[in-house]
Amino acid sequence: MKQTATSSSIEDYVKVIYAFTEWQDKPITSSVLATRLGVANSSVSEMVRKLKDLGLVDHEPYSPIHLTAEGLSLALSMVRRHRLLETYLVQELGYTWDEVHDEAEQLEHAVSDHFIERMSAKLGHPVRDPHGDPIPDAHGNITMAPSHRLDELDPGHTGRISRISDHDPELLRHLESLGIGLDTQLTVVGRPRFGAGLQVRLDLSENDAGPQTLGDEVAASLWLASVGRHADCTVQELTGGSLMSPHSAQ
């Protein structure tokens, strides 16, 4: 696998393009990419041309952007870096799960491959980060248990939270304060009413810091329903029928 010389900007572009298609299939457009990166549309046009010249993306003017095999490989290596770093920060340096994202965002561009592999070894080669996201191995292969968007779970079914996006530290702190974390069990008790919302009951058998009031449980439902719809949070089903499995990368 040949290594194109990359800058941290290039790495960020490729990572965001990949992230957009990690939990659904629609390819990313120029303007969405601009929004996610916090840059102007014109900056994206220029950079995408450069990424195309480097062989990292396929792109025809006025069309969505796709990673090439080489681009995917770079993206997966950045995702591996990010998620291993997050795991390391939590397990070895006592960070909380809402503190790790920004630190990892900086470090992922600075550490060497050697550093990454030492870290992975020290952690016992983990396959899931503190938010439940899968960690690709050094070859870009992803091992992942099947999971679903929260709103795909039918009422009456029980699931275990298998993934929560690390992008919003405030959301993470809020969930924490409600006693909700990775592997928290919940049961869907009601379908969306009035066009929004999804009611879940939290199963707190093994969690003593859970919601103290019914109000908390309602608030939790709203948050989870919202992030569930955006695939920012997924669940692993523990009872009931089989749903579609998410696409697996590479």
122 binds its own copies, rule: CB under 8 A = yes
111 binds its own copies, rule: CB under 8 A = yes
Nearest 5°: the CA angle 137, 142, 144 is 130
Q: Name the strand (E) or helix (H) holding 12.
A: helix 8-20
Residue 117 vs 183, nearer CB to its own copies: 117
x-marked contacts with DNA along 31-50 as a string, rule CB under 7 A: xx----xxxxxxxxxxxxxx
* Nearest partner of 142 among 69, 230, 73, 231, judged by Cα: 73
Residue 93 vs 145, nearer CB to its own copies: 93
Using CB under 7 A, which of 2, 25, 53, 62 touches DNA? 62
107 binds its own copies, rule: CB under 8 A = yes
Using CB under 8 A, which of 115, 173, 181, 246 touches its own copies? 115
Return the one option of its own copies, DNA, none that residue 29 interacts with (CB less than 5 to 8 A, by type): DNA
- Return the amino acid letter for 116: I
Instruction: Determine the interface stretch with DNA among 54-62, 71-79, 96-104, 210-218 (rule: CB under 7 A).
Output: 54-62
* Nearest partner of 211 among 200, 198, 220, 199, judged by Cα: 220
5 binds its own copies, rule: CB under 8 A = no
Instruction: Determine the interface stretch with DNA among 6-14, 67-75, 173-181, 222-230 (rule: CB under 7 A).
Output: 6-14
Q: Identify the three-state secondary structure at position 210.
A: coil
- The rounded radius of gyration (Å) of the Cα atoms in the chain is 19
Return the one option of its own copies, DNA, none that residue 227 interacts with (CB less than 5 to 8 A, by type): none
Residue with tokens 């993934």, as numbered in its chain: 163
Return the one option of DNA, its own copies, none that residue 95 interacts with (CB less than 5 to 8 A, by type): its own copies
- Return the amino acid letter for 193: R
φ, ψ of residue 77 in degrees (nearest 5): -70, -35
| Per-residue DSSP letter, 151 | G
